[in-house]
Amino acid sequence: MEDQIINRVANSPLKTFDLEDHYHTGVRQVLDIAPWLFNGIILKEKDFRSFVKEHNWADYEGKNVAIMCSVDAIIPNWAYMLVAINLEPYANMLVYGDLSDLENALFMQALAKVNLEDFQDAKIVVKGCGNHPVPEFAYVEITRLLRPIAASIMFGEPCSTVPLYKLKKR
């Protein structure tokens, strides 16, 4: 009888969770309100409202936008709210913060849609390599979601995993 090569990884009960499958491929953009400030540091309500009114919000159609101010200035909360009100009809996603905050929000939105029942009592490998940048936040968030329902959680590739969690037998 010939020695047959058996792919034990393919035949294993492991379920792979690939965070890249939840990566939003849309454009990410920062909307910095610093240029709308008087002398680059002071928000004058009348001028600010004028900038907001004249701004071409359609430029953000379908984009993911992080609203921020890159200078150390005191910006009243209503100013960010006014920007959000005008941006919301166009943007796919908008957040206050930088691109990192935006990326975290996109993953939070995507991971909230995962059907966790598909992973009930499963041995799960959270895939670690890919073509898109996945923030550490996403790894922590999926771990937080899966730990209460998983039999075990590992990191890496099915052929080479780092064990992280195993349900204790009762």
Q: Read off the pLDDT of residues 84-109 as tens digits, 9 standing for 90 and up.
A: 999 999 999 999 999 999 999 999 99
3-state SS assignment for residue 143 = helix
Report the alpha-carbon distance of residue 80 to residue 86 in Å, rounded: 10
Report the alpha-carbon distance of residue 59 to residue 23 in Å, rounded: 23
pLDDT digits (tens, 9 = 90+) for 105-127: 999 999 999 999 999 999 999 99
pLDDT of the residue at 80: 98
pLDDT of the residue at 6: 45
pLDDT of the residue at 5: 52
Report the alpha-carbon distance of residue 82 to residue 74 in Å, rounded: 16
| Paired sense of beta strands 152-157 and 160-166, if any | antiparallel
pLDDT of the residue at 170: 63
Judge whether 154 and 126 are in contact, CB under 8 Å.
yes
Q: At what angle do helices 99-111 and 136-146 cross, to 10 degrees?
A: 20
- Rounded to two decimals, the pTM is 0.85
Phi, psi dihedral angles at 78 (to 5 degrees): -60, -30
pLDDT of the residue at 4: 64
Report the alpha-carbon distance of residue 102 to residue 66 in Å, rounded: 6
**Over the chain (170 residues), what is each successive 10-residue block's mean pLDDT?**
54 85 95 94 95 97 98 96 98 97 97 96 91 92 97 91 88
Start-to-end Cα distance in the chain: 43
pLDDT of the residue at 130: 80
Locate tokens 């240029």: which residue?
35
Report the length, in residues, of the chain: 170
pLDDT of the residue at 94: 97
- Report the run of H or E that residue 86 belongs to, with start and end: helix 77-87
